[in-house]
Amino acid sequence: MARRPLVALVGRPNVGKSTLFNRLVGERRAVTDEIPGTTRDRLFGEFEWHGRMFNVVDTGGIEVYQPKGTRDESPLSEGSIEFVPQIKAQALMAVQDADIIVMLVDAMHGVTAADEEVAEILRRTKKPIIIAANKTDNINRVNEAVEFYSLGVGEVVPVSSIHGDGVGDLLDAVVAAVDDMEDVEQLDADAEADHHMKIAIVGRPNVGKSSLLNRLIGEERVIVSPVAGTTRDAIDTEIAYFGEKVTLIDTAGIRRRGKIEPGVEKFSVLRAMKAMERSDVVLLVLDGETGITEQDLHIGGYVQEAYRSVVIVVNKWDAVEKETQTALEFERTIRARFDFLAYAPIIFVSALTGQRIHLVLETAKRVWEARHFRIPTSALNELVRNAYQSHTPPVRGTRRLKLYYATQVRVDPPLILFHVNDPSLAHFTYRRFLENQIRAQYAFEGTPIRLSFRPRDGMQEE
């Protein structure tokens, strides 16, 4: 599946970025205010235009105040001054990650010194830039919007974020810019060609993720501290495992929403989620000393929703007081609480002492191979026929689900397509039964399986 292009809304404060963001995503998700500095953190959403899906990110202003005497001088919102570096840093990171940049400017004020500074920063990115001249609520301002061509960064489109005028033209320009980009499809092709294992190390803060990474690579490559929250960004490290390239991605700890502080920390959580989505296998690290928390379960839910393969790694096992059945009892607790990840292997390690560390990459490799395993069509249909005969689907009303044909149409993760008489008759419990029957013969260790049902009239090759 081709990734969605990311559109970043950037500009100086109080030009209407959050208002435009809310209009694009179709809900009032960003806080808007006339006082500059209201949006401190990046905010992600998605929108559709002409059948194309896009991700969009709202940001705080790249500059949050101007010297006295300038025509765009305006006060900061209360409490925002202390976050000036973080706001600017997050906006610049959004620019770095984006495929298309929409620079918002205020047509009421014309070109300002702040606009020129933002344009200078964006010009260095070499990325497609569209200028949205906002607040063009009358024909005079629409005509005056041509002034912003003097910034020399891209096409100027007059819009009104509040009323929606010109937004369609802006999105047409975004689509045209994406169509002109040769690298979007190339990135997807490169990702397909670069077929090697990518492992993200995730977990709540201070469970030993960076220590685990250092132990795996055999050197102190990442800063390790007993203070929770040291790792701010996702960090990629390439290693060789039995002659094969492996990318290890260390991430910041994912806190509960109520515990996330404004500024860089919230951005680090977003980066952790993005890192997880570009991995094949996730190492979900738990703290053996403190046990399982609700946040561990939340993170496990994120892994499941992203359809990543997963290995549950219980760290700090050297510090746990043990009896004969301690590991077995802990594993039972994990199985009970992470019942939605029943397919995940569990290993007990110590990043500090190196205890059983060799099992981490060994297990991840097996899971990665399972993620790319394809069941032969003949064997799959024999399995499905036997399952159907042993447990016939229940009658719903006067009709019963009939399975005609099954094929695995995709790997990474596995997707199995069933051609049936009516997909609405495929009840959740029977879907679970079929998955269990498949796993009984093909374990797909650590890997989610997606099941899709299509009416027989829609049969086609995939």
pLDDT, one tens digit for every residue, the chain (462 residues)? 356 788 888 888 888 888 898 888 875 444 344 433 333 344 667 788 887 888 888 775 555 344 444 444 443 333 333 434 444 555 566 677 788 999 999 998 899 888 888 888 888 887 889 999 998 888 888 888 889 998 888 889 999 988 889 999 999 999 888 887 754 455 444 444 557 899 999 998 889 998 999 899 885 555 555 544 444 455 678 888 888 889 898 887 776 554 544 444 445 566 667 778 789 999 999 999 999 999 899 889 889 888 999 999 999 999 999 888 999 999 999 999 999 999 999 999 999 999 999 999 999 999 999 999 999 999 999 999 999 999 999 888 889 999 999 999 889 999 999 999 999 899 999 999 999 999 999 989 999 999 999 887 544 433
Bond into 158 cis (ω within 30): no
- Give the distance from CA 18 to its chain's centroid: 21
* pTM of the complete model: 0.60
Residue 26 buriedness (CB in 10 A; 0-12 / 13-18 / 19+) = exposed
Residue 347 buriedness (CB in 10 A; 0-12 / 13-18 / 19+) = buried
CA–CA separation, 76 vs 86, rounded Å? 14
Residue whose entry in the numeric block shows the structure tokens 């949050």:
64
For 199-253, the pLDDT digits (tens) are: 999 998 889 998 999 899 885 555 555 544 444 455 678 888 888 889 898 887 7
The helix/strand/coil state of 182 is coil
Catalogue all structural domains in the chain, each as residue range(s) with its CATH number.
6-186 (3.40.50.300), 195-371 (3.40.50.300), 377-458 (3.30.300.20)
Q: Strands 6-10, 52-58: parallel, antiparallel or unpaired by DSSP?
A: parallel
Contact 418, 437 (CB under 8 A): no
Measured CA to CA in angstroms, residue 242 lies from 99, 122, 215, 369 at distances of: 36, 43, 17, 15
Return phi, psi of residue 450, to 5°: -100, 135
For 17-40, the pLDDT digits (tens) are: 888 988 888 754 443 444 333 333
The backbone region for 272, taken as left when phi is positive above 0, alpha when psi lies in -120 to 50, beta otherwise, is alpha
The backbone region for 432, taken as left when phi is positive above 0, alpha when psi lies in -120 to 50, beta otherwise, is alpha
CA–CA separation, 102 vs 327, rounded Å? 53
The DSSP secondary-structure symbol of 109 reads: T
